[in-house]
Amino acid sequence: MFAVTAARFDAENPIAGLEFGEHAEPAAPDGWTTVTVKAASLNHHDVWSLRGVGLPADRLPMILGCDAAGVDADGNDVVVHAVIGDPAAAGGDETLDPSRSLLSERYDGTFAERLAVPRRNLVPKPRALSFEEAACLPTAYLTAFRMLFDRAPIGPGATVLVQGAGGGVSTALIQLGRAAGYRMWVTSRAAHKRERALQLGADQTFESGARLPERVDAVMETVGEATWAHSLRALKPGGVIVICGATSGSVPPADLSRVFFLQLSVIGSTMGTRGELARLLTFCEQTGTRPLIDRTTPLTDAKPGFAAMISGDLFGKVVFTL
């Protein structure tokens, strides 16, 4: 079968590690099944894998990809949950299983004609969502869903600041928060990305680091060091930062005096459970929310999509079709 694999690591030129071609068919052990992939979406995780982050060299070649929608062995339309873990090992939450992994870390991923996954990792795809739309949801949109509706102790009417516009999680936060009745504010260095965020549903946008007209209830943080000080200053007393990534660095000055004096909370968030993915699919079906897709290309022509993600020349998801 055709697949896109990480064959080698290159921190400076990640695309150099990609290989396109034939790969062995997946094997499905007891409790697992196969899925014929119809669409898969790209994540920063795939680029980090090509740089050698989180993927040991002894596991190469590894089929990349966390997200997919397709058809299972019984002919059902399904969405693949990317977290391979045991809910029983962590009180019902597989994201807290110490031995959890994502597809393409320990097991081959979704950038192939077929893949093998545990049966419990399949969620029925609503008819209202296309395969391309559904394939965008299991990582970026699920991450945003958990940040907003599980990890942040806020409700409709709250003001939420999203640091950075254009990435998959950021666009998901804007769309999901708007649909849920939050007031969504967004920062970006790029004027055209601020304009796109407004078109997507943001209430207001600001240059990165700009003084805000008032303090916010919560900050959704994916950037890290470059925006951390601004995120702390943006919060009202008792506010919360929910952080799911640190693309600009992970060791900012903590400013602990501000944290304890204003009684701020800093909460980490990683992916989401299978149950949360099912709720996300229902949320999209019921509200009419649809993932923002920057571009759709055949999997055989995936390199430009990787290049766009590496350069930051995106607003929304990159989807590969088979």
CA distances from 122 to 166, 230, 290, 314 (A): 28, 39, 20, 29
Query: Which CATH fold topology does 2-136+291-321 show?
Result: Quinone Oxidoreductase; Chain A, domain 1 (3.90.180)
pLDDT given for residue 298 in this prediction: 98
Q: What is the pLDDT of residues 60-77, one digit of tens each?
A: 999 999 999 999 999 999
pLDDT given for residue 224 in this prediction: 85
| Residue where the block lists tokens 């690591």 | 9
pLDDT given for residue 312 in this prediction: 83
Q: pLDDT-derived band of residue 246, with 50, 70 and 90 as boundaries?
A: confident
pLDDT given for residue 251 in this prediction: 87
CA distance 184 to 144: 13
Average pLDDT score over residue span 38-64: 96
Same CATH topology for 2-136+291-321 and 141-268? no
Looking at residue 144, the DSSP 8-state letter turns out to be H
Domain spans, the chain: 2-136+291-321, 141-268
Q: Given 1.20.810.10, 3.40.50.720, 3.30.530.20, 1.10.760.10, which CATH number is that of 141-268?
A: 3.40.50.720
pLDDT given for residue 313 in this prediction: 83
* Mean pLDDT, rounded, of the chain: 95
pLDDT given for residue 136 in this prediction: 97
Q: Supply the DSSP string of 175-190, one letter for each residue.
A: HHHHHTT-EEEEEES-
Prediction pTM value = 0.95
pLDDT given for residue 238 in this prediction: 98
Average pLDDT score over residue span 185-201: 94
Asked whether residue 46 carries a pLDDT value surpassing 80, the answer given is yes
Q: Please check whether residue 205 is in contact with residue 186, taking contact to mean a CB–CB distance below 8 angstroms.
A: yes
Asked whether residue 147 carries a pLDDT value surpassing 80, the answer given is yes
Asked whether residue 250 carries a pLDDT value surpassing 90, the answer given is no
